[in-house]
Amino acid sequence: MKIAAIEQFFPRPRMRLVKVTTDTGLVGWGETTLEGKPRSTMAAVDELADYLLGKDPLRIEHHWQHVYRSAFFRGGNVLMSALSGIDQALWDIAGKHFGAPVYMLLGGAVRDRVRVYAHWGIGDLSDEGLARARERLDYLRAKGGYTAFKSGAGGKWRAHEPPAAIDDFIRRAYLMREWVGPEIELAFDFHGKMTPALAIEICHELQGMRPLFVEEPVPQDNVDALKLVSDHVPFPIATGERLLSRWEFRQVLEKQAVAFIQPDASHAGGITELKKIANMAEVYYIHTMPHCAIGPVALAACSAGGCRDAQLPHAGEHRAGLADGCGGDALAGGKRACGAADLSRSRDCHKRNRGTEAASVH
C-alpha cells in the first residue's frame, strides 16, 4: 500500500483539512488548521507531499521522525501543524486498514467516558448582557448536560490595571458561580495576557470561588514566569495549547510549572506526539487535557488519545479510523460540521498526486 494523493480542503475560514488517499482506495483525514495563519500550512503540507507520495502510510513513526528531523529548521507552528494533520490522516488509514479504532492501536481504551466543558461566560453586566449569558447557559445545560464551563478575561489587559477593571471581571466571575452553584466547575482562560504580578493578583481574587483552573495566565515563552504564578496560586494552573512538541513541554514538566497541560492534537505533532507528551507528564503527576478549539477532525484526534477538552464521539460513530468523511456529527450538541459530500463540492481544493510536478487548484 502506497500514498497516491494528498489533497487539502478549506470548507470554512477556520478549518483546514488534509486528505491522504492510498493506491488501495483507503482514505485518511487530518486537520491542519492554524489559527491566525490559515494559508501557511497549505504550503507546508504541499512540501511534505514531495516526501510522502509513494511511501507506505503505515510507517507512521518513521514518517514523523523523518519530517521532524530531516529539515535544517525544526518545529515551529506551521511545520508542526502540517505534520499534525498528516499524522492524524495516517493513523486514520491505519485504523481502517486493520479494522480497528485508533485507540485500540494505541493500546486500548483506558476509560469509557470523558468529561468535557463548554465555553460560557458573562460578557458584561448590562441587562442585555445578562440576558444573553443566561440564555446560553440554559441552552448548554439543557442540550449538552455540561457540568463545567470555561470563560475568559476579554479585551486587552496591560501590565497594570486600575481596581475598576479588575473588580468588573471578578464581579462577573462570582456571578457565574452564583448562577451555577458549587456543583458546577468553572475555569478561566487569561490567554497569556497578564504579567505574573497581575495574574497573581487576579487569581487571589478568584480564590474564593474555587476555579477548576486558570489557563495561560502569562505568555508561554517564559516557564519561570509561569511557575512563579503557580507557586503563588492555591488552585491549578494550565498551559500548553501553544507548545509544539515534547521538547517544548520538557521544561514545563521538569519545573512542574503547572498542574494541567493542554497539548493540541493539530499543533503539537498529532496523535503520535500527543501520546508521548502525555506519557512524559504522567511521571510528574501532571494531568493532560488535550486542547481542541478548531474543527471536527482535530476533535476526533483528541478523543483517540482519551481527551478531556473535546467532545468524545460514541464508539459506534468511528468504528475504524478517526472519522468517516470529516467528522460528521462529532461536534458537541450533534451539530454536523462537514461530511465527505460537502468537501467533494468545495470550491477550495488543493491536490497533489503521485508523479505530478505541480499542484492543481480547483
Q: What's residue 302's pLDDT?
A: 86
Contact 125, 164 (CB under 8 A): no
Q: Is 312 helix (H, G, I), strand (E, B) or coil?
A: coil
- Edge-to-edge strands, sheet with 360-361: 27-31, 15-22, 3-12, 349-353, 360-361
* 113 pLDDT higher than 80: no
d(CA 34, CA 269): 13
pLDDT over 90, % of the chain: 69
Residue 291 appears among annotated catalytic residues: yes
In this structure, the dihedral spanned by the alpha carbons of residues 279, 284, 286 and 291, taken in order and rounded to 10 degrees, is: -40
* 355 pLDDT higher than 50: no
* Least confident interval from 38-47, 283-292, 297-306: 297-306
Q: What's residue 348's pLDDT?
A: 55
Confidence of residue 219 (pLDDT cuts 50, 70, 90): very high
The overall average pLDDT reported for the chain is 84
Residue 191 appears among annotated catalytic residues: yes
What is the pTM (predicted TM-score) of this model?
0.84
* 221 pLDDT higher than 80: yes
Q: What one-character DSSP code corresponds to residue 260?
A: E
Q: What's residue 27's pLDDT?
A: 97
Helices (H), 184-268: 196-206, 223-231, 246-254
Annotated catalytic residue: which of 63, 97, 267, 291?
A: 291
Q: Is 237 helix (H, G, I), strand (E, B) or coil?
A: strand
Confidence of residue 98 (pLDDT cuts 50, 70, 90): very high
Q: What one-character DSSP code corresponds to residue 334?
A: G
Q: What's residue 110's pLDDT?
A: 81
Q: What's residue 165's pLDDT?
A: 93
Annotated catalytic residue: which of 66, 119, 191, 287?
A: 191
